[in-house]
Structure 1
Amino acid sequence: MHAEVIIDIPFHDVDSMHIVWHGHYLKYFEIARCQLLDAFDYNYLQMQASGYAWPVIESHVRYVQGIQFQQKIRVRAILREWEHRLKIEYLIFDAESGKRLTKGYTSQVAVSIATREMCFQSPPVLLERLHAWADFNAE
């Protein structure tokens, strides 16, 4: 399961050399992650309504080549794990050439909003949403 977004790099995301500041890559990951979560109808508002928060507990970014002002990028988010955590892999490509520019991943865990306790397995609501999405797309 994956989702993609196209982003035009704005001036406020770059440094004096017109290269994207390293911290903004996580923002681009987040934009693609929300698109992925929307695909199976379990984005942050649905998470909250189901009684769970899903904080990011780990992130990693490998900067392959700098991204520049006004460059169009394609960010792909790929769901890799979901049974005990959400592990999402990200690939950033130049939208025109297809050249890979960056890769990384984030991990999120379910936390009960009521008790503030971390869950050691994903709650049934996530698995239900994923199964519903898989069933719908299999038809």
Structure 2
Amino acid sequence: MKKHIYCRHSFEIEVQFFDVDAMHIVWHGNYVKYLETARCAFLSAIGYDYNEMARQGYSWPIVQMNLKYIRPARFGQKIRVDMDIVEIESCLRIDYTIYDVETNEKLTRASTTQAAVSLSDGLMQFQTPGSWLEAVKRHPTFQAV
């Protein structure tokens, strides 16, 4: 069964020298930073960044992350992080694919899951807050189930 994609977002980044090892290949841990940078751009686009989450009374820690390295990204390369937002009601789950901008070659696949946690009592929420759902619905590519 094909999963529903609520919305899509893309973000481009140029690989910086401080992200690579001696062979000019991106050190594996920096892919997490690329996912976070792209995710922050998405959250800003819907007006629900981490500051807004806190104002609404929630933190959204990462509870699961998966990465599959297909080909290395290299110093100076322009990469595009394509994001498919695939779950918004019980958590925030995003599937990512990182591509070379020039060749469209697939470099990495990843996914993250974040859960809302109430700041007042520290309890994980099994349903996302209404303010979150309304924000996601504002994204121009939003598709209801």
Q: Taking structure 1 as the reference length, what is the TM-score of the superposition?
A: 0.92
Partner of 2:3: none
Give 3-state SS (helix, strand or coil) of 1:42's partner. coil
Whichever residue aligns with residue 91 of structure 1, its letter is: T
Partner of 1:107: 113
Q: Is the 8 A contact 2:67 2:108 kept in 1?
A: yes
Q: Distance in 2 between matches of 1:38 and 1:78?
A: 16
Whichever residue aligns with residue 33 of structure 1, its letter is: R
Partner of 1:54: 60
Q: Pick the aligned partner of 1:80 from 82, 86, 106.
A: 86
Partner of 1:90: 96
Whichever residue aligns with residue 121 of structure 2, its letter is: T
- The answer to whether 1:38 aligns with 2:39 is no
Q: Distance in 2 between matches of 1:137 and 1:102?
A: 24
Give 3-state SS (helix, strand or coil) of 2:52's partner. helix
Partner of 2:11: 5
Q: Is the 8 A contact 1:64 1:100 kept in 2?
A: yes
Partner of 1:122: 128
How many percent of aligned residue pairs carry the same amino acid? 41
Q: Distance in 2 between matches of 1:3 and 1:134?
A: 9
Q: Distance in 1 between matches of 2:74 and 2:136?
A: 36
Q: Is the 8 A contact 1:60 1:106 kept in 2?
A: yes
Count of matched residue pairs = 137
Structure 2 vs 1, CA of residues 136 and 26 (structure 1 numbering), >3 Å: closer, same or farther? closer
Partner of 1:26: 32
Higher RCO by CA contacts (8 Å cutoff, separation 6 or greater) = 2
Task: Measure how far apart 1:41 and its partner are.
Answer: 1.2
Q: Is the 8 A contact 2:45 2:139 kept in 1?
A: no
Q: CA RMSD in A?
A: 1.7
List, as ranges, runs of 4+ consecutive aligned residues in structure 1 with deviation greater than 6 Å: 135-138
Whichever residue aligns with residue 10 of structure 2, its letter is: E
Whichever residue aligns with residue 51 of structure 2, its letter is: L
Q: Taking structure 2 as the reference length, what is the TM-score of the superposition?
A: 0.89
Structure 2 vs 1, CA of residues 81 and 20 (structure 1 numbering), >3 Å: closer, same or farther? same
